[in-house]
Amino acid sequence: MNIISGRRLALPVIALSLLLSACSGPGGSGFVNSTPEAYCQLSERSTLFLIDRTTTFDAGDQTLLTESLGNVVDRLETGDRIIIATISDHYSKTRQLANACKPGCPEAGGVMDEIVGSCSTMKAKQDQQQFMGSLATSLRDVITSAEDASGSDIIRTIGHWTGSSTAEPYTSIVVYSDMLENSDMIAWSKFSSLPEDELMSIVTGHGALARTPGANIRLIGYGRLHDEARSPLPAALDAKLRGFWTRYFFEGGGQVEFSARTDG
C-alpha cells in the first residue's frame, strides 16, 4: 500500500514538473532578466529623442531639456526602448547617446506566472538605477557643451533615424530643436522663404522624407530665431514653418505637436 501510495503521489509531481518545464521555455510565461537587453522582449514600443546640438543651451534651455527628457522617461513602461541621438550641422555627424529598454519585471498574469516567472526584482531595480544613471550622463554631456556649428541639418538627420524600411517605426518621437533648417540641402534663406511645395520637392528629391507611421511627434523649443537674443519668430514665418513641419511629418504618417519654450 505504501508503494502504491508513493507512486500515486509521484504522478502529480512529475506532471507538474513537465508543465513547469514547458511553460518556462521560449514560448512560455517565464522571463529571465539575465541582461539589460532582455527587457526589450517585454515591449514593442520605442521612443526617439533627438537633441539639436547646433544652438548653445542657456540655463532655461538646460532646464527645459532636462525636464522634457525626464517626462519622456517617466512615461516609459517596462521594456519600452528609448534612443537618444544628436542633430548637428550634417546628418553624418549625428551621435547616438543612448539605446536601452526600461528595466522591470512583468506583472504576473496568474498563479502559474508566479510559479514559473524567473525575473529577479532585485536585479531589475539595480538595472533601472543603471538605466537612469546612463541617461543622465548622456544628457549631461550634451547640455554642458555646445557644438560650434554654422548650420543645422535637421531634416536629413530625422530622415536618417526614421527612414529605414527594415526597422519597426518609432511609437513616439521627440525633437528638442528650434526647427530652423540651415544645411547644404536647404539653406536658411531658402527654408524661410520658399513655398511649402518647393521645400517638400527638395526633401523628396534628396530622399530625406521621414518614416513615422502612427507616431506621436513632439517638437520642443520651437518658436525662436537664430539671432543672439533668440527672438520670437514673426507670426507669418511661425505659421509658414509650422505648416511645413506639419506636412513633413504628416506625409511620413505621423501627427506633430509644437511646444514653445516657457520661462519661469
Q: What is the pLDDT of residues 113-134, one digit of tens each?
A: 554 468 999 999 999 999 999 9
pLDDT over 70 at 95, yes or no: yes
pLDDT over 80 at 237, yes or no: yes
pLDDT over 60 at 7, yes or no: no
Higher pLDDT, 221 or 23: 221
Least confident range of 14-28, 64-78, 185-199, 230-244: 14-28
Q: How much is the average pLDDT of 7-33?
A: 47
Report the pLDDT value the prediction gives residue 260, as an integer from 0 to 100.
65
Report the pLDDT value the prediction gives residue 92, as an integer from 0 to 100.
95
The torsion defined by the Cα of 49, 55, 59 and 63, in degrees rounded to 10, comes to: -10
Q: Is the pTM of this model over 0.85?
A: no
Instruction: Give the C-alpha separation, 197 to 205, whole Å.
Output: 12
Report the pLDDT value the prediction gives residue 113, as an integer from 0 to 100.
52
Q: How much is the average pLDDT of 82-100?
A: 95
Contact 84, 64 (CB under 8 A): no
Report the pLDDT value the prediction gives residue 129, as an integer from 0 to 100.
96
Instruction: Give the C-alpha separation, 262 to 246, whole Å.
Output: 21
Higher pLDDT, 240 or 142: 240
The torsion defined by the Cα of 253, 257, 261 and 263, in degrees rounded to 10, comes to: -150
pLDDT over 70 at 48, yes or no: yes
CATH code for the structural domain at 38-259: 3.40.50.410
Report the pLDDT value the prediction gives residue 228, as an integer from 0 to 100.
75
**Residue 155: how many CA atoms within 13 Å on its side-chain side?**
28
pLDDT in tens, 202-212: 999 999 999 99
**Residue 204 CA to its chain's centroid (Å):** 24
pLDDT in tens, 169-200: 999 999 999 999 999 999 999 999 999 999 99
Report the pLDDT value the prediction gives residue 4, as an integer from 0 to 100.
45
Amino acid at 22: A
Q: Cell numbers of 13, please?
A: 509531481
Q: In the chain, what are the domain boundaries?
A: 38-259
Instruction: Give the C-alpha separation, 111 to 105, whole Å.
Output: 16
What percentage of the chain has pLDDT greater than the value 90?
Answer: 62
